[in-house]
Amino acid sequence: MIISSLSLHLATSPLPSEATGYGPIFEEEPVDVVYTEDSPDGRISMNCRARANPPAAYRWRRDNWEIKLMEQPDEHYSLVGGNLVISNPRQKKHAGTYICVAHNIYGTVISKEARVKFGCKNRGQVCVSYRWIFNEFPVFLNMDRRRFVSQRTGNLYISKVEAQDAGNYSCFVSSPVLGKSVFSKFIPLIPLPPDDERKYPADIRVKFPDTTALLASNITLECFALGNPIPHIVWRKVDATDLPANHEISESGAALHLYNVQYEDVGAYECEAINTKGKDWHKAWLYVECERLPRSGKGELKFSSLTFADSGMYQCIAENYWGIKYANAELRVIACAPTFEFNPLKKQLLGARDGRVLIECKPRAAPRPRFTWSKGKELLFNSSRISIMFDGTLEILNATKNDEGFYTCFAENDRGKANSSGYLTITEATSITVAPEDTEVTVGGEVVLACSASYDPMLDIAFIWAIDFRVIDFDAEWQHYERIMSQEGSGNLRIKNAQIWHEGRYTCTAQTVVDGDAAYADLKVVGQSACLSSQLLWTKGAEHNSPILSYTIQTRHFWSLHEDDWRNASTSPSFLDGTVERADVTDLYPWMEYQFRIIATNEYGSGEASIPSLKIKTWDAPPVVSPADVEGYGGRNGEIIITWTPVQPWYFYGKKFGYIVAFKPHDGYDWWYETISDPETRRYVHKDSFFLPGDEDFQVREFQVKIKTFNVKGDGPYSLTKVIYYPRDVPTEHPTDVYARPVSSTEALVWWLPVVDTGTGLQQYIEGYQVKYWRKYIDTEPGANRIFVNATVSQTRLENMLPDSHYLIEVRAFNGAGLGPPGEHCEMFTKRPPPAEPPRIQKKRFKEGQGELEADKKKSTSALLKIPPTFQVMFRKTGYIYGKVYVTGWHFMDFPMPQFGDYELMVRGRYEGGDGPVRTIKLLAPIGPLYRRQFSFPSLRLCFVVRHCNAWTTLVYRRLVKKQTSKTR
C-alpha cells in the first residue's frame, strides 16, 4: 500500500498512468436555467458529462425524486447521452432543483444542484440589451471612446458631438431570454455650430452605484464622461495597487467587468476621467454576499493503516441552511516494489566544472523507498560537497574532473529493491569573454552590441538577448533586431533604425545544456522625434466607386490599456475632408510614445483602419499636474506623516519625475522642503525635535502642507495647501458601547462606537483601533491576542478562540503617538464545541415475548448536562442517499416501524458550536412468516442520554413489540 496514514482532500486529480479503469469524474455539470414559456426553442437542455472507464451511466433527479426515464417513458423528459432534455416545459411540472447522477462499477458521484426557473433572470441581472440604430435599420452605431450606451439605462452618451454625428437615432432593445426585439421612433440629432473648438474638462455622467454581488457571479460597473478633448477613463480599486486579477475593461474603458467575484474583491472602486483641461472622478462600493451556497470550509477525510479495500470513489457533501455542494475524488491504494522501468537514470550525465550537479533518482515505488548512492564501488555519504536529498536526488557542489564516473542509485522498500546507473562527464564551464558595453545611438541610427563566450567544444551554445528582462523575439522584431554570428562562440546583437523605445538595459546570456553565463550593458537613444504636435502624411486608398468624404485620425499611446484601445485624435484642421492628405495631430502628451492610424469614410460608412504607423515619442516638458488627496497627521516624538495620491505616469512629461514636499507650522514663516525622487511614493515621514509641543501648547497644533511635481525640464504647480493636525499625545477618548457575540466555538464578532471628539473643538485624528482579547482568569493580559483595524471600521471578527470559554475584550483607539485609554471590558462566552465522538450504542439480547432492547444500566445518569444538546436523526432505507431528517431537543423520539425492508438510523448530537460525528444503526427486517404472525413492529423509540463527565453521548434505543391477538393489534 502507498502509505499508512492519509488525509484525503476531495478534489479531482489524475489517476496513476497504469490504471485501466476509474470512477466518474465530472467534466460538465448542469447549471441554473431561466426559461420563458413563449421561448421559440420550446425546450430546456440540462448538460451532464463525466469521464469514466468503463463509461458512466446517468440518472437524473428532480427535487430529490428519481426521474424514471427508462421504466416510464415521458412525453417531456428524454436523455441524450448524459444530458436531460425537457420538451415543452411547464412551470408547475418542471420548475425545481435537478441533480445528475453518474455511475459505473467503481462508484457513483452526484453533480451540483441546478435550478430550473421560469421568467426573467435572477434579481439584479439585466434581461435586455440596448443598442442604437443610426439613420436606418440595420445600421447600428459603433461604440468608441466618444460614444457609449449604458446597459443599465439604455441611454446613449456622446462625449464630444461632431458634425458627423448628425442624423436620426433609434433605441433598439432585445431580450435574449424572450427572443424578441423592439426599437423606438427615430430621434433627430442636429449638432450646433462649433464654438471655436471650445475645450472643457472631463465631466462624468454615467456613474456606477454601490453594488451588491453574489459570490462567484459576474458584474459590470459603468463609467463614462463628457469632455473636450475626449476624456480617458482610468479604473482603480481604492487601497489596492491593482484591480482584481479577474477583471476586464471594455467599451474603450467605460465598462469594468469583474468575473467570478470573490470576497477579496469587496471594496471601493473608483473611475477617473482625464483630459488636458481637467479631471473628474467617481467612487462607489462593491459588496459580496453568499446566497444559497454553503460557506467554504475545511473538511478532511483521514485514513490510517490504509488497505486495498479503501480504494474507491469518495464524495464530500457540504451542506448548510443555504444549500449543498459536492466534490468528488477517487482513492486508489497501490503497493509495488521499486522499478526504474519508466524513469531510469540517463546513461550520459553532464555537469559543469566548478558548478552544481543534480542527478535525479525517480523510481516508481509504494511506499516511498529508501535511497543510497554509489560511485563505482564506493558508497556515497553526505558531506560538505555531496548530499543525498529526501527525494533521492544526488547533489554535487563545486564539481571537478575527479567527480567523473559511474553513479548508481539504489531504491528499496518492504516490497523489494532496484537500481539504475549513468556515467557523469564534467564539461568546461561556460563564461562570457567579450561583454557588451554601454553605448549611445541617435534616433534612426544603427549599433552593434558585442557578446562572445568560451564553452566546452563538445556542447552546443545559444545566445539569448533581452531588453529590460524581456526576451527579444527576433522573428517578430526583425525590423529592428538582428542576431550576428560572426564567429564560433559569438552572438552579437545589431539594432537597426533605433527608436527612443529601444533605450534600456540589454542582457546577453550564453547558454548550453549544462550551464550559462550572462552580462549586460545600457543603451541610450538620443535625439527624440516629435513634440506636442505631429504632422501626418498619407496617400489615398481605394474609394470603391464612392468619393471619400472625410478622414479620422486615431492615436494610441504607451499607457493604453489594450492593444485595440485607439482614440480619435484632435487635429488641425479639425475636420479632415476627403481631399486632404496631411494634417497636424494636436493635444499630445509630452514625453509620450505614440502610434497613429487613419480611417476613411464615404457615404456607405467607414472603412478599415490603416496599418499603424511607426512609434514616435514627443518632446519632454515641465509637468502641469500636481498630486491629489494630500493628507497628513502628526506622529510620535515629533514625526509629521504626509500622504498623497501619486500622479499618473502619462503626466510625468519627462525623465527624473518626482515630488517636492513643503510644510511648516501654521503660524510659521519659513517652509521646509523635501525632495522625493520615486514617482510611485505616496507617503513621507519627517522627524524634527522642533515640532515637539511644549507644556504651553494647545492639545492640537496645525501644520500646512503642499506638494508639487518636477522633472528634468522644470517644476510643476503646487497642490492646494492642506491643513493637518499634530496631536500632542495619544487619543484621549476611548471607544464606547463595545459589544460582542459568539459566532461559533472559535469565532466571535465585536463592534463599538468610534471616537470622534477630543474636547478641543478640533476633530481628533484616529489612525485605527486595537482590539485585544484573552480568557478571563486563565490568560494574562500581556499575552492577549491583538487585531488592528482601520479608523473607518467599527467592527471586526475575532478568530482562533477556544471553545466554551469566558473572554474579556478591550478596544482602544490609536494614532501615530500611540494607544489611547481602554474602555470598559466587554465579557463574552464562546459556544460549546460540537461532540467529539458519535453517539454510543449499547445493546442487550432480545427478550423473547417482550420484544425489548434495554440500555446499559451500569453507568449513572446523575451527571446530565444542564443544557443538553439537540439531536439530528436521519431515517432512510438501506442503499438510499436521502431520507427524512428529524431534529429534537428531547431525550427520546418515536418512529413508525415498517415491516418490510432494511433501514438505517443516522444519529448525531448538535451543540450550539456545531454538529458532532454520526453513529449509524442498522434496522433489519423480521425474517420468516412465523415471526411475522407473532409480532408486529408498530413503532420504534430512540432514547438519548448525555453524560457530562466523559463528554460523550450515549444512544439507547428500544423496539416496542406488541404481541398480536385476535382482539387487539
CB atoms inside a 10 Å sphere around CB 176: 11
d(CA 604, CA 700): 70
Closest CA to 959 of 921, 927, 929: 921
Q: Does 551 share its domain with 481? A: no
Asked whether the beta carbons of 567 and 554 are under 8 A apart, the reply is yes
Residues 740 and 723 placed together within one structural domain of the fold: no
Percent of the chain with pLDDT strictly greater than 90? 28
Residue 473 lies in a domain: yes
Q: How confident is the model at residue 328 (pLDDT cuts 50, 70, 90)?
A: confident
Please write the tens of the pLDDT for every residue from 712-747: 888 888 888 888 877 656 778 889 999 999 988 888
Residues 144 and 271 in one domain: yes
Q: Taking the chain, what is the end-to-end CA distance rounded to the nearest angstrom?
A: 56
Residues 158 and 283 occupy one common structural domain = yes
- Same domain (yes/no): 134, 282: yes
**Amino acid 968: pLDDT:** 34
Q: How many domains does the chain have?
A: 8
Task: Label residue 191 by pLDDT band (50, 70, 90).
Answer: confident
Look at residue 17 in the predicted model and tell me its pLDDT: 41
In the predicted model, what is the mean pLDDT of residues 796-801?
Answer: 90
Nearest Cα to Cα of residue 229 among 144, 145, 142: 145
- Confidence grade of residue 127 (pLDDT, cut at 50, 70, 90): low
Q: Are 564 and 597 in contact (CB under 8 A)?
A: no
Please report whether residue 590 resides in a domain.
yes
Identify whether residues 421 and 435 lie together within a single domain.
Answer: no
Cell (9 digits) for 252: 474603450
Bridge partners of 87?
A: 43
Decide if 3 is inside a domain: no
**What is the predicted pLDDT for the residue at 235?**
93
> 727, 757, 778: which is the final residue of a domain?
727
Count of alpha carbons within 13 Å of 176, Cβ hemisphere only? 8
Say how far residue 446 (Cα) sits from the centre of its chain.
45
Backbone Cα Rg of the chain: 38
Does residue 677 fall inside a structural domain? Answer: yes
Strands, E assignment, 32-105: 33-35, 43-46, 49-53, 57-62, 65-66, 77-80, 83-87, 96-104
C-alpha to C-alpha distance for 414 and 17, rounded to whole angstroms: 22
Q: Which long-range contacts (CB under 8 A, 24 or more apart) does 236-243 make?
A: 236/269, 236/270, 236/272, 237/267, 237/268, 237/269, 237/270, 238/267, 238/268, 238/269, 238/270, 238/283, 239/267, 239/268, 240/267
Give every CB contact of residue 281 below 8 A, 6+ residues apart in sequence: 204, 270, 271, 272, 273
- Which of the two residues, 118 and 352, has the higher pLDDT score? 352
**Residues 641 and 593 reside in one and the same domain:** no
Helix (H, G, I), strand (E, B) or coil at 880: coil
Q: Residue 651 above 80 pLDDT? A: yes
Q: Is the pLDDT of residue 507 over 50?
A: yes
State yes or no: pLDDT of 136 exceeds 50. yes
pLDDT at residue 692, as a whole number: 62
Mean pLDDT is highest, among 192-201, 291-300, 604-613, 688-697, for 604-613
Alpha-carbon gap, residue 256 to 136, rounded angstroms: 30
Q: What is the mean pLDDT of residues 220-229?
A: 92
In terms of average pLDDT, the best of 90-94, 212-216, 493-497 is 493-497
pLDDT band at 550 (very low <50, low <70, confident <90, very high): very high
C-alpha cell at 399: 564539481
Distance CA 655, CA 679 (A): 11
Q: What is the CATH number of the domain that holds 553?
A: 2.60.40.10
Do 419 and 554 share a domain, yes or no? Answer: no
- pLDDT at residue number 955: 38
- Placement of cell 438505517 in the chain: 904
Domain boundary among 372, 393, 427: 427
Determine the average pLDDT of the residues in 660-688.
87
Mean per-residue pLDDT, 440-444: 80
pLDDT tens string 82-112: 899 998 888 888 889 999 999 988 888 888 8
Taking the C-alpha atoms of residue 890 and residue 642, their distance in angstroms, rounded to an integer, is 64
State how far the Cα of 159 lies from the Cα of 150, in Å rounded to an integer: 13
User: Does residue 815 fall inside a structural domain?
Assistant: yes
Task: Write down the pLDDT at residue 38.
Answer: 59
Region 68-94 average pLDDT:
82
Cα(811)–Cα(790) distance, rounded to whole angstroms? Answer: 13
| pLDDT greater than 90 at residue 893 | no
The pTM of this model reads: 0.36
Quickly state the pLDDT bin for 700 (edges 50, 70, 90): low
The pLDDT score that the predictor gives to residue 661 is 94
Spatial CB neighbours of 422, under 8 Å, sequence gap ≥ 6: 345, 346, 347, 348, 349, 359, 406, 407
Minimum mean pLDDT among 70-74, 114-118, 863-867: which range? 863-867
Alpha-carbon span 420 to 363, nearest angstrom: 9
* 72, 54 Cβ separation under 8 angstroms: no
Clarify whether residues 48 and 86 are in a common domain: yes
Within 642-737, residue ranges assigned H as helices are: none
If you average pLDDT over residues 517-524, what whole number do you get?
A: 90
| 3-class DSSP assignment, residue 930 | helix
Q: What is the pLDDT of residue 318?
A: 77
Taking the CA atoms of residue 505, residue 508, residue 514 and residue 515 in that order, the dihedral angle to the nearest 10 degrees is -50
In a domain, 797, yes or no: yes
608 contacts 555 by C-beta, under 8 angstroms: no
Q: Are residues 545 and 466 in the same domain?
A: no
- In terms of domains, do 499 and 451 share one? yes
Which residue range(s) make up the domain with 575?
Answer: 534-618
CA distances from 9 to 3, 6, 23 (A): 15, 9, 17
From 66, 98, 118, give the residue that closes a domain. Answer: 118
**For residues 195-210, average pLDDT:** 85
**How many Å apart are CA 476 and CA 706, to the nearest integer?**
48
How does pLDDT run across 400-418, given as a tens digit for each residue?
Answer: 999 999 999 999 999 999 9
Q: What is the pLDDT of residue 631?
A: 86
Distance, in Å, from the CA atom of 808 to the CA atom of 785, rounded to the nearest integer, reads 11
pLDDT tier at 264, thresholds 50, 70, 90: confident
pLDDT at 493: 94
Q: Which three cell numbers stand for residue 268?
A: 471601493
According to the model, what pLDDT value does residue 784 have? 87
Domain-located, residue 666? yes
User: Residue 111 falls within a domain, yes or no?
Assistant: yes
Task: Name the E strands within 215-341.
Answer: 219-228, 232-237, 247-250, 255-258, 267-275, 278-289, 301-304, 312-320, 323-331, 336-339
pLDDT reported for residue 817 = 66
Q: Where are the beta strands (DSSP E) in 688-767?
A: 700-711, 714-718, 722-727, 736-742, 748-753
Q: Are residues 270 and 184 in the same domain?
A: yes
Task: Quick: pLDDT tens for 558-583.
Answer: 887 677 789 999 888 889 988 888 89
| pLDDT for position 941 | 61
